[in-house]
Chain A
Amino acid sequence: MNWKTLARAAALLAGLAAFGAQAVPSLGDKLPRVAKGTADHGKFKELQRVFKSGPDVTKACLACHTDAAQQVQHTRHWTWEVVDPKTGQMLGKKNLINNFCTTTVSNEKDCMACHAGYGWQDKSFDFSREDNVDCLICHDSTGTYRKLPGDAGHPVYVRKEFPAGSGKFVEAVDLATVAQKVAMPSRANCGSCHFFGAGGDGTKHGDLDSSLKKPGKHLDVHMDAAGLNFSCVACHKTVDHQVPGSRYEFAASRSGPPTPRGKYDAEPAACQACHGDKPHHENPLLMDRLNVHTDKLACQTCHVPQFARNAIGTEKSWDWSTATKMGPEGKPIVVKDSAGRRAFDSKKGNFAWDSFLIPEYRWFNGKVAFKTLGEKIDPAGVVEINRPEGKPGDPGARIWPFKVHRGKQAYDPELKNLLVVHTAGEDHTALWHNFDWPKAIGTGMQTAGLPWSGKYDFVATEMSWPITHMVAPKGDAVTCAQCHTGEGRLAGVGGVWLPGQHRNAIIDTMGWAVVGLALLGTLIHGGIRVCVLCRRKKGTNPQ
């Protein structure tokens, strides 16, 4: 290409650009860009001041949003308490034991880093005070508002090294800026707690971790940052701060057609709320072959083929029985696995992590039986801290995918119940401070107001987490043959007849026997004919 051609090309481009510039602008183009939302909180005088604390900000919020705190106070995000309507049991994080850090009781200062409030450090917390509600943890759009363990739910007011001794620092939050830039909750807001359940990225759920802040389509078709880019509240459609779609009110077996968004729906987070219970469009000759699966399977069973589909992974087990074991020099140690995830910590015991996990499948009707504090256990077997209920084939249940987290934790071998352990804190009985089980259990049980025989041992435990996020593109869904085969994914689940997996041994044996005998019969009959024919030919062939 010579310089003349280049010049011509340049002239052509310039001409095109000029033509483009001359295009008549529409009225909208002359105006500033469309604002996000109708109120720019940066312009509110009430927020243009110095805020000393979280509650300080909340008071300013409530000056306009008069009923917001009261609405939040009705949610689990605030109470950490759920009453089981069937049994009357008091559930929720405030009352339950889990398979990770075990209980919040006596450990509030750490745990309440994820409470949507300020100052819950012991039983004396005032649940009625409106300025204790934390607006910013859900509405911060700057990503600078962080709450750390040890501060009972307050954000970082003074620059702080975290984790202690790590050399990494968390900057003090500029509350005024955060307040002026509030927004509707994004995935990062919900994720600031829900991605980090049990104290680390991806630890608890396996289908929720920080990779969902900006996921690709392969990880989640709905949250795909370059595609649909759903926020959490797109499905967990929140009205008046009441967030639907909790594990405690699980829509396990929804059926019927979809409900249009905007219309009230008690279970907006269920897949079927948008997709209906007959979402597959197939050749009509195949007679709704895929749709017929929906009365036995949860959508997630096929459409979340694996969970923790990234390098973050998730924790598979936590064995507390090795906690307090010290390193070679008698000092507490932390050991990481080859992927840099925690493998051992003198404070906490042994861990096992993995990525790209295949769920375990169980029938589930949405109800979960929990082991509550002080409840009797059978130490001879594995203690199911929570047990998804639902009988095979029950029309109100579906086969669901679960992450089953297994571990060992402290129990009372005489009174036969799990123990409350005072783990977090700076006092001399805290396990993570003084590495003394009896002292930590003593304080824990005393705080919980429960009796303890003075003895402790460790028992195998497990906890089941329904898998529902990380919905893969349809091409990555579980294939037919992954279940419809001898030892398929649903082997042993029961309640379904799976062509390709199930068969009747008697019918098969007899069937093949009859076929075999028929073949044998024809072979013998044919053989005799051939022999007779040969002999006759020989006999008639002397010339």
Chain B
Amino acid sequence: MSTNRIFLYKRYERFWHWSQAALVIFMLITGFEIHGAYENFGFRRAADLHTYAAWTLLVLWAFTIFWQFTTGEWRQYIPTLKKVDAMIRYYILGIFKDAPNPFQKTSVKKHNPLQRLAYLALLAFVSPIIWGSGIFYLGYAYWPDWGVDAWLSLEAVALTHTIGAFMMLTFFFVHVYLTTTGHTPFAHIKTMITGWEEEEHH
């Protein structure tokens, strides 16, 4: 058994991932309190903190979008259907038989085809739902200036935002579970922290 180390995640990428993770978790906690699911900070503080976290995440995204395009890393999210069936088969069967992962990570292709699809769905579907509704929610005071007050209702915006939040929460649990599917349960998380992937060769 030998190990081969490859460098997958650059310093900014790791910073982005973990700060975004912290913000999303924090916004889920505060968001579901605003929703009335439970009580922790109290409504006002929860709403304040949720709002500040939203602004922080927006700034982080601004930098990240810039980073994605200047480094060309955005290509990592181009979807492909190639080997998707193999990936599905791996997660349903192979993983239990200790079969090799049909996808081998490289610094050019960091995400397996299923991951790509999942992240694309997050980016192109869940994010617009959350951010679209979230920005209208945040700017409720300015609806008359934006000319949307005549046809948009706070109820519609709030419900859309809630739907987005449930999707994000679902993503969060599945995403965290899938981090345990490396060659050791914490391998993926370690990679995300150090940037180095240790490949195991049988």
| Chain A neighbourhood of B42, CB < 8 A | 480-481
Which of A286, A485, A518, A528 is B96 in contact with, Cβ under 8 Å? A528
A residues near B (Cβ < 8 Å) are 285-289, 291-292, 479-481, 484-486, 496-497, 499-504, 507-508, 510-512, 514-515, 518-519, 521-522, 525-526, 528-529, 532, 536
Interface residues of B in 126-164 (CB under 8 A from A): 138-142, 153-155, 158-159, 162-163
What is the bound-complex CA distance between A337 and B51, given in angstroms?
Answer: 50
How far, in angstroms, from A486 to B51 measured CA to CA in the complex? 22
Cross-interface CB contact of A518 among B91, B98, B138, B170, cutoff 8 Å: B170
Contact of A485 among B36, B98, B153, B163 (CB under 8 A): B36
Q: Considering the complex, which residues of chain B in the window 29-86 have a beta carbon less than 8 Å from any beta carbon of chain A?
A: 34-36, 42-44, 47-48, 51-52, 55
| Distance from A284 Cβ to chain B, minimum over Cβ atoms (Å) | 10
A-chain residues with CB within 8 Å of residue B139 when the two chains form the complex: 287
Q: Is B166 an interface residue (CB 8 A)?
A: yes
Interface size class of B (residues with CB under 8 A): 35 or more
The yes or no answer to B12 lying at the interface (CB within 8 A) is: no
Within 8 A of A (CB), among B158-195: 158-159, 162-163, 165-167, 169-170, 173-174, 177, 180
| In the complex, chain B residues whose CB is within 8 Å of the CB of A526 | 177, 180
Given the complex of chains A and B, what is the CA–CA distance between A292 and B139 in angstroms? 10
Decide if B174 touches A522 in the complex (CB within 8 Å).
Answer: yes
Q: Which residue of A lies closest to B160 (CB)?
A: A507
Residues of A within 8 A of B159 (CB): 504, 507
> B121 at the A/B interface (Cβ < 8 Å)?
no
Say how far B23's CB is from chain A's closest CB, in angstroms. 15
State whether B166 touches A514 (Cβ < 8 A).
yes
Q: Majority SS of interface residues in chain A?
A: helix
A395 to chain B, nearest CB (A): 10
Determine whether the beta carbon of A481 is less than 8 Å from that of B43. Answer: yes
B21 part of interface (Cβ distance < 8 Å): no
**Any A CB within 8 A of the CB of B95:** yes
A480 touches B47 (CB 8 A): yes
Chain B residues within an 8 Å CB radius of A285: 51-52, 55
Whether the Cβ atoms of A522 and B173 lie closer than 8 Å is: yes
> 3 tightest A-B contacts by CB?
A511-B166, A288-B141, A292-B141
Q: Are B36 and A287 interface neighbours, CB within 8 A?
A: no
Q: How far is the CA of A496 from the CA of B91 in the complex (A)?
A: 47
Distance to closest chain B CB from A526 (angstroms): 6
In the assembled complex, 19 residue pairs joining A and B whose CB atoms fall closer than 8 Å, in A order, are: A287-B51, A287-B139, A288-B141, A292-B140, A480-B42, A480-B44, A484-B43, A497-B154, A499-B35, A499-B47, A500-B36, A500-B43, A504-B159, A514-B166, A515-B170, A515-B173, A522-B173, A522-B174, A529-B95
